[in-house]
Structure 1
Amino acid sequence: MDLKYLNTFRTIVAEGGFSRAAEKLNYTQSTITFQIGQLERELSVTLFEKIGRKMVLTKAGEQLLPYVDEVLSSVEKLRCFEQELVQCQGDLRVGVAETQLCYRMPPVLKEFHAQAPRAHLFLRSMNCYDIRDELMSGTLDLGIFYEDVGGFGSNLVTDPLSSDPLALVASPRVKARHPDYITPDQRIPVPLIINEPRCIFRQIFEQYLRDKAIRLDHTIELWSIPTIKNLVENDVGISFLPRFAVEEELEAGSLAEIPTSLSGRTITAVCAYHKNKWVSPLMRLFLNLCAGG
């Protein structure tokens, strides 16, 4: 049995279809179809069936999946065996939430490169939901994100890193003009400067505003936390961020925290990987560094 047929089968399942698997593996769709046909002939079963416009797993395909995961995991262990005997090297794909990447990860990354200079670290700043999804599909080895995204059940192994409070912040001048974000049913003529719509702390604050029937002027949507802070410091609007991301500015007085009914609300950062993923020496090093070990 050709291992690449098993890898193709697993990729179809992970990507949700033949055409996406072909794109992911850089194959033609006819190659994908041929490989699955060969695998079905070897096993004497039908693995996929067409329902409507989609190809879905048959019962036999569902039963095969855990065996394929086990085989591919064992192959990965064999490929890493020599590395384990010598030193940490190879590739590691890590997705990190932007606030964690900016303010918490630099010491970890510095020490990782010092201890594993021959490793190839593929690091991406990503939305937490995308990190969760790519961990589930196997595209990422590790993810640093906020567990508040949920939706992964027991499929991911998560190691808690920290639980951090959130803060509504403005410049001292904007806070002096608009200090009340607790009284319900009001309109406050300032914009919210925040990350993209699937940002965890944006979702928390927007739900708070809906619950309080508080309407802001408009939303300025940016991808850069440092840029968001810069605009807030310059009286453009307010923002709702993890407190550790604005700690220096609060201490310096260039930003001021505004009281809300969300006082005490925290978000929990975790380092996670898929439960079926073999924890290679390189992964173990990164996990230990994140945990402060």
Structure 2
Amino acid sequence: MDIRHFKTFKSIIEEGNFSNAAAKLGYTQSTVTSQIQQLEQELSIKLFEKIGRNMVLTSLGKELVPYANELLDTVKKIENIGKHGDKITGELKIAVAESLMSYKLQNVLSLFKEKAPNVKLSIISLNCFSIKNILSKGEIDIGLMYDVGSTKDSLTTIPLADFPLALVCSPLLEQDKLDLSKPNQKINTSLIINENESIYRRILENYFCDNNILLHSTIELWSIEAIKKCVASNLGISFLPRFTVEEELNNGKLKELRVGCSDSKITAICAYHKNKWVSPAMSLFMQLVRKSFNIA
């Protein structure tokens, strides 16, 4: 069997279709199609089937995914034998929660680029549940996220830090008329927050649900910076990791509101698949992360 065929198979899954995989690998689409056909013949199974206009994995194709990942991981180990320090090469794929990416990782990324300039670093920003999901599938190397509970046995996790949360509003809001500690009330303001699977959004909404507190509406935004600007403009309130609003609280652009779940904390973790070979690039990156969070 040709290792290139498995690399092509994995690229199709990562890129979503044959044409994108061809562009990534520098092949023509006919070459990609031919390689998959050869792999199917060698394995005597059908890997993809056409549903409408899309090519999707068959059930046997899905079964092959973890074995292909394991095989390519072993190939990567062989390719990296003896490579250390500034000779580290290869690719490192990480997924990061947006707040950690924007406020806690800049120094880590700068140092990693300095120490391993030949590593191709790929970064995506996702919610924590999605990061955990793609980690378990072996689609990325490292995930930096918050602990969302029920960590799968397939993952190795390193606790990094506990972060407090803050409910914030505009200084223009009449705070004396807003008491979120009282149950059974309707409040004429909006919650400006991330999408549904934000861990800190869930904490606040669970508190509101338990205490029968209803807000006028919910405004979903994907950017913490956009959320903060909307709150500062008195368009609503928000519940965010305190470190993301510390500057605005100190300079008076935002004010803090007390709420029954104000003492809640979220735990940042670094995670990777327990069967993942820790490459020199992975080892260096995690070493820098641990140092940044003062983890021995």
Q: Look up the match of 1:165.
A: 164
Give the AA of the match of 1:115. K
Matched, 1:228 2:231: no
For residues 202 and 249 of structure 2, what CA distance do their matches in structure 1 show?
23
Among 55, 65, 79, the alignment partner of 2:58 is: 55
Q: Look up the match of 2:93.
A: 93
With normalisation by structure 1, the TM-score equals 0.81
1:111-130 mapped onto 2 (5 Å cutoff): 111-130=111-130
Q: Look up the match of 2:41.
A: 38
For residues 57 and 92 of structure 2, what CA distance do their matches in structure 1 show?
33
Deviations 1:234-287 (A, max 9, x none): 222100001111122222333222111113211111111222221111111110
Contact persistence 1:69–1:276 (CA under 8 A): no
What secondary structure, in the 3-state scheme, does the structure 2 residue paired with 1:174 have?
A: coil
1:1-293 mapped onto 2 (5 Å cutoff): 1-7=1-7, 22=18, 25-26=21-22, 31=34, 34-41=37-44, 55-57=58-60, 68-81=68-81, 83-84=83-84, 87-148=87-148, 150=149, 152-174=151-173, 176-292=175-291
Contact persistence 2:184–2:212 (CA under 8 A): yes
Q: Look up the match of 2:53.
A: none
For residues 104 and 131 of structure 1, what CA distance do their matches in structure 2 show?
17
What secondary structure, in the 3-state scheme, does the structure 2 residue paired with 1:81 have?
A: coil
Aligned pair in 2 of structure 1 residues 186, 121: CA closer, same or farther (>3 Å)?
Answer: same
Contact persistence 2:86–2:115 (CA under 8 A): no
Aligned pair in 2 of structure 1 residues 35, 136: CA closer, same or farther (>3 Å)?
Answer: farther
For residues 132 and 8 of structure 1, what CA distance do their matches in structure 2 show?
24
Give the AA of the match of 1:39. E
Give the AA of the match of 1:163. D
**Cα shift at 1:203:** 2.1
Contact persistence 1:92–1:119 (CA under 8 A): yes
* Aligned residue-pair number: 280
What secondary structure, in the 3-state scheme, does the structure 1 residue paired with 2:83 have?
A: helix
Between 1:2-11 and 1:204-213, the stretch displaced more is 2-11
For residues 99 and 84 of structure 1, what CA distance do their matches in structure 2 show?
31
Between 1:2-11 and 1:263-272, the stretch displaced more is 2-11
For residues 110 and 67 of structure 1, what CA distance do their matches in structure 2 show?
34
Contact persistence 2:167–2:262 (CA under 8 A): no
Give the AA of the match of 2:203. I
What secondary structure, in the 3-state scheme, does the structure 1 residue paired with 2:93 have?
A: strand
For residues 102 and 206 of structure 1, what CA distance do their matches in structure 2 show?
24
Give the AA of the match of 1:161. L
Gaps of 5+ in 2: 23-28, 50-55
What secondary structure, in the 3-state scheme, does the structure 1 residue paired with 2:91 have?
A: strand
Contact persistence 2:40–2:47 (CA under 8 A): no
Contact persistence 1:8–1:36 (CA under 8 A): no
Between 1:204-213 and 1:80-89, the stretch displaced more is 80-89
Aligned pair in 2 of structure 1 residues 49, 236: CA closer, same or farther (>3 Å)?
Answer: closer
RMSD: 3.1
Give the AA of the match of 1:110. S
Aligned pair in 2 of structure 1 residues 33, 75: CA closer, same or farther (>3 Å)?
Answer: closer
**Cα shift at 1:33:** 6.0
State the identity %: 40
For residues 71 and 252 of structure 2, what CA distance do their matches in structure 1 show?
57
